[in-house]
Chains A and B, each alone.
Chain A
Amino acid sequence: MDVKTLTKLTKWMETTDLEEITWKNGDEKISLKINNNPEHSATIASSMEPVLAPYIGIFRFARPGKTNHLKEGSAVKRGQELGVVEVGKDFKSVEAPSNGLLKIISIEDGKPVEYGQPLFFFEPR
């Protein structure tokens, strides 16, 4: 077996949840073992980027007394406040990491969110 085939095989393995394979052909035998831990391989190719909750708490589109007219398809600017996470009497800002188009809003006002939960998906520009 050549390096090219080996590379192909390892690449293929990474797309599965296999951790170990053994291939046998006559006297030739090869065992491959990769670290296929889901924590390392759970990445999906996409042009969209998530905006994650910075804290555990209750999500609000706007601070008390303010409004927010954010819609799917809205253009957002880097650093723009997309919402807040209410933590006790404190509000943690959820900001757009760069300029782009807001594609998906995956959270509702007043819902609990945990740390690292995707709240929005946007396409950077």
Chain B
Amino acid sequence: MFKKVLIANRGEIAVRVMRTLRELGVDSVAVYSEADRSSLHVRLADEAVCIGPAMAKESYLSIPAIISAAKVTGADAIHPGYGFLSENAEFSAACRDNGITFIGPSPKSIQQLGHKSEARKMATKAGVPVTPGTKDCVSVKEAAAAAAKIGFPIMIKAAAGGGGKGIRIVRSADQLANEMNMASSEAKAAFGNGEVYFEKYIELPRHIEVQFARDTHGNVIAFPERDCSIQRRHQKLVEETPSPAVDKKLRAKLEKAAVDLAEAAKYVGVGTVEFLLTQTGEFYFMEVNTRLQVEHPVTECVTGFDLVREQLLAASGEKLTYTGGHTVPLLGHSIEHRINAEDFSRNFAPSVGRIEEWMLPGGPGIRVDTHVYAGYNLPIYYDSMLAKLIVWAPTREMAVERSRRALAEFKVTGVKTTIDAHQLIVESPDFQAGKTDTGFMERLLAPAESVKAA
């Protein structure tokens, strides 16, 4: 195991990682920007160094500053957390070149699995189902035949595109020629390249993901799936495990897909495979996250594992805690609520200021991961997440009840928070019935927004 680990991150995840380090008897080093001097991760660490000004580009995203901080403090490994440099192959390589262990996959794995089309190839190789689509770009001549082969509805995507730009949905053959022209000229204008390809459009899918861990000895574990369908503008709000839409049989298939992919990529560390799950129970590979995820605590709650510990074990060349098989037992149900400093009544506008009152929920089955305390001034430079409220209960029904109780106990003044948005979600009959998909938030907010407009 390592002697001293530097955490190249801030906020709740830096605090989270430090807690495991302390339990393992490993010293922790916090790095911070000038804007984070009074942040909790600085106070909890065994050592802390200032690495740059408030702008993330010159501090938390500066590879030379972080490597220098590790050298100066004598850290033998770096934990990247999530976001910032966590999925940066260049950073993983810089650590290796400086004799520091990067607690995450190798630069090669990050490149293979972090890059969408490379990851898709790897998934196909591992026998994991991918969304039906054209392998290459489609010309106007080939369009009709290609679309018919996939089956409507289809998506036309720009080859050079990204971030949801240049995507058009076509529901029938008679619209195809027209949409194809529009997509191509849009792509040309936006990306300077008019080439497009087709993919099957999945109507109101669920976002399902499988956490896995693999060590250098070849032990692999796939954990029970997480359902992250409740999103707003591609930002997850609520995550739960297990998914109300997944039964034992489907779970076994999902877990096998994750294990096969991890084996095929010879991946070392923890990672997550994201899938789209259709209303009729087919699942398709979407992408791999080569890092610890925000929502990892729900998995910890239902399995008893400490995923940061598994990450440290894998990175230091040791064996995972459990080596008796590819799957682990699942106990109860867990839900995570991401509490952000945003004004729900003003279309989730960011809210900044000083936290005056900060009363956390407690009692049975409650876990709160946060870096916030009363009197804390929210810096304006970083993301708006204040805390993750995680509940556990023996059944989903009881977990929902517990969420309702905990959200009512959670009191924050000084800034606006999304606690009321979460209360709205918990009160929704669809959520209570487990009927969620990626269109859930839009439907939930639609009546509220029309009331405001009137």
Contact = CB atoms under 8 A, between A and B. Distances in A.
Contacts of A88: 64, 67-68, 71, 98
A90 interface: yes
Given A39-B37, A39-B38, A115-B50, A56 B72 contact: yes
B38 A55 contact: no
B52 A58 contact: no
B355 to A, nearest CB: 12
Nearest to B74: A112
A55 B69 CA distance: 10
B14 interface: no
B68 A57 contact: yes
Contact of A56 (B68, B98, B377): B68
Contacts of A115: 34, 49-53, 59, 65
A88 B73 CA distance: 14
Interface residues of B, number: 20
Contacts of B51: 56, 114-115
B377 A114 contact: no
A87 B377 contact: no
A18 B34 CA distance: 24
A112 B59 CA distance: 17
A38 B375 CA distance: 11
A57 B51 CA distance: 9
B377 A37 contact: yes
Interface string A47-88: 000000001111000000000000000000000000000011
A12 B72 CA distance: 41
A98 B9 CA distance: 35
Contacts, number: 49
A56 B65 contact: yes
A114 B50 contact: yes
B354 A57 contact: no
Contacts of A114: 49-51, 69, 72
Interface residues of A, number: 16
Contacts of A35: 354
A56 B38 contact: no
A55 B124 CA distance: 46
Contacts of A112: 72-73
Contacts of A39: 37-38, 377
B284 to A, nearest CB: 44
Contact of B65 (A37, A55, A58): A55
Interface in B38-72: 38, 49-53, 59, 64-65, 67-69, 71-72
Contacts of B98: 88
A67 B446 CA distance: 70
Interface string A20-46: 000000000000000101110000000
Interface string B72-99: 1100000000000000000000000010
Contacts of A117: 50
A87 B37 contact: no
A117 B51 CA distance: 10
A55 B53 CA distance: 10
A116 B50 contact: yes
Given A56-B69, A56-B72, A90 B50 contact: no
B68 A55 contact: yes
Contact of A90 (B34, B53, B64): B64
A35 B377 CA distance: 11
Which of A37, A56, A112, A117 neighbours the largest number of chain B CB atoms within 10 Å of its CB?
A56
A31 B71 CA distance: 50
Contacts of A116: 34, 50
A58 B74 CA distance: 12
A90 B52 CA distance: 16
A107 B51 CA distance: 18
B322 to A, nearest CB: 39
A113 to B, nearest CB: 8
Which of A58, A90, A115 neighbours the largest number of chain B CB atoms within 10 Å of its CB?
A115
A117 B53 CA distance: 12
Contacts of B64: 87-88, 90
List of 9 A-B pairs having minimum Cβ-Cβ separation, nearest first:
A112-B72, A114-B50, A114-B49, A115-B50, A87-B68, A57-B68, A56-B68, A115-B52, A56-B69
18 contacts: A35-B354, A37-B354, A38-B38, A39-B377, A55-B52, A55-B68, A56-B49, A56-B51, A56-B52, A56-B68, A57-B68, A58-B72, A87-B64, A87-B65, A87-B68, A88-B71, A88-B98, A115-B59
Interface of A: 35, 37-39, 55-58, 87-88, 90, 112, 114-117
Interface of B: 34, 37-38, 49-53, 59, 64-65, 67-69, 71-73, 98, 354, 377
